[in-house]
Amino acid sequence: MRKDTGIKISKEKRAEMVTAIKNYYLTERDEDIGDLAAGLILDFFIEKLAPEFYNQGVNDSYLYMEKMLEDLLSIQK
């Protein structure tokens, strides 16, 4: 059962990702996996790994905005 991470992807993007996973396995591991196996791998990445990348993006955005706000305050007269 898939845990809802709140990360949503379109059907089209999911199909692209499944194809990319299948191509990776074929190219790098010389294994031909099916859509189901690639989809389960994608689900694993979305559930277990994607939240870390998302959180890092949020943190990076926060630090960037904090820096920009400091720059904005520097133009005060």
Q: Is the pLDDT of residue 1 over 60?
A: no
Q: How far is CA 53 from CA 11, 24, 32, 37, 70, in A?
A: 21, 20, 28, 23, 26
3: pLDDT confidence band, cut at 50, 70 and 90?
low
Residue 70 contacts residue 27 (beta carbons within 8 Å) = no
Q: Is the pLDDT of residue 28 over 60?
A: yes
SS3 12: helix
What residues contact 35, with CB distance under 8 A and at least 6 apart? 18, 22
Amino acid at 47: E
Integer Cα distance of 42 and 21 in angstroms: 8
